[in-house]
């Protein structure tokens, strides 16, 4: 079997380890051959592909980013499925492994169901918001980077007796904020799932100060304080027409300072959370998911994706990953609040 591999959407630590896992397992166990597709669906629509061998994937486990490149090109643009069939036929490609998040897997599932294309998937997002998988690779790296940043900012906050507001990624869910905030000992964690009033934030910050601590507030970029109607976004729209988030920390910091009288500074981590080498956990998870995707393609389980359930890698429907977002549940929010203030 001849298989094309593409990475689409936002980059994530572990993408290269997935590619390596697919190619090594496919060649060694199934005798498959591989084609790399550059920049996601764009490469498949524009015939931008190249031969891939085990030599091309050596040493990739610890390398961040993606050697294939990525884009947010929609699979139904520029000729859509008909053009994809032409490119696949020209290179004798029998199947595609699509590695991506909500948008990628939604498009891939539609291409299987409506167009009959042979596609299997691997779930990817640092936000950990895809359903029907316990974790997505890249999340552990992102939360680890955020935790290290919190640790570093705590020392300067304590030196100057300041409050620090640290903004992490999380458009619709607060998994990174929750995990890094708990790991870093934050005095308040703010997430898109649960609006909080400025009075409550002020109480948590003041309580920490009164105990002799330099207050640490961790906020997900998609958090909307009570009283606001929409997320903070002053950077225009992205290629998909979504607001470019970023700035909630800058919005909150002066309000916290005004409310509490504590000098407050804001730090936005931004794309630092996506970059660099993946953690050991993400390297192993990515490799296992990649190897499982090679098996799915060999077994012709079109429309399925590799998923983590407990410690096992299993096959589930791609569509089930994008039917709804995996949000932080109420019990996790209530559990964390015991640590605030």
235 exposure class (CB count in 10 Å sphere: 0-12, 13-18, 19+): exposed
Per residue in 18-71, pLDDT (tens digit) is 999 999 999 999 999 999 999 999 999 999 999 999 999 999 999 999 999 999
Q: How many Å apart are CA 31 and CA 120, to the nearest integer?
A: 18
Residue 220 · residue 180 · CB < 8 Å: no
Given the residues 11, 127, 129, 140, select the one marked as catalytic: 127
The structural domains of the chain, ordered by start, are 1-124+277-321 (3.40.50.450), 138-273 (3.40.50.460)
Q: How many Å apart are CA 123 and CA 13, to the nearest integer?
A: 13
Is residue 127 among the annotated active site residues? Answer: yes
* Known binding positions: 10, 72-73, 101-104, 125-127, 162, 169-171, 221, 265, 271-274
* Known binding positions for Mg(2+): 102
Per residue in 281-317, pLDDT (tens digit) is 999 999 999 999 999 999 999 999 999 999 999 999 9
pLDDT at 244: 76
| 271 C-beta neighbours (distance < 10 Å), count | 11
Per residue in 123-134, pLDDT (tens digit) is 999 999 999 999
Per residue in 205-246, pLDDT (tens digit) is 999 999 999 999 999 999 998 888 778 776 665 656 666 788
Residue 204 · residue 187 · CB < 8 Å: yes
Q: Provide the mean pLDDT of the chain.
A: 94
* Known binding positions for substrate: 125-127, 162, 169-171, 221, 265, 271-274
Q: What percent of the chain has pLDDT over 90?
A: 88
- pTM for this predicted structure: 0.94
């Amino acid at each position: 079997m001849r298989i094309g591999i593409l990475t689409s959407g936002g980059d994530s630590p572990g993408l290269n380890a997935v590619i390596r896992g697919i190619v090594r397992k496919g060649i060694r166990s199934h005798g498959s051959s591989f084609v790399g597709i550059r920049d996601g669906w764009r490469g498949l629509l524009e015939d931008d592909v190249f031969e891939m061998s085990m030599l091309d994937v050596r040493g990739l486990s610890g390398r961040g980013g993606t050697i294939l490149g990525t884009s947010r090109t929609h699979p139904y643009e520029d000729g859509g499925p008909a053009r994809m069939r032409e490119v696949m036929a020209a290179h004798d490609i029998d199947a595609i492994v699509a590695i991506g998040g909500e948008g990628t897997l939604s498009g891939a599932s539609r291409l299987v169901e409506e167009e009959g294309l042979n596609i299997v998937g691997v779930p990817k997002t640092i936000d950990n918001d895809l359903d029907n998988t316990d974790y997505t690779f890249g999340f552990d790296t992102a939360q680890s980077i955020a935790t290290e940043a919190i640790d570093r900012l705590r020392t300067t906050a304590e030196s100057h007796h300041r409050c620090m507001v640290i903004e992490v990624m999380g458009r619709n869910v607060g998994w990174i904020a929750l995990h890094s905030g708990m790991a870093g000992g934050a005095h308040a964690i703010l997430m898109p799932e649960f609006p909080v009033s400025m009075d409550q934030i002020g109480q948590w910050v003041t309580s920490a100060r009164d105990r002799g601590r330099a207050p640490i507030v961790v906020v997900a970029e998609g958090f909307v304080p009570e009283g606001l109607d929409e997320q903070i976004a002053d950077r225009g729209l992205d290629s998909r027409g979504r607001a470019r988030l970023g700035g909630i920390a800058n919005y909150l910091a002066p309000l916290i300072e005004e409310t509490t009288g504590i000098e407050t500074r804001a730090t936005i981590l931004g794309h630092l959370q996506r970059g660099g080498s993946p953690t050991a956990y993400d390297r192993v998870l990515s490799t296992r998911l990649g190897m499982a995707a090679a098996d799915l393609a060999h077994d012709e389980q079109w429309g399925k994706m590799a998923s983590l359930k407990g410690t096992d890698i299993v096959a589930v429907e791609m569509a089930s990953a994008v039917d709804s977002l995996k949000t932080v549940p109420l019990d996790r929010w209530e559990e964390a609040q015991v640590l605030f203030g």
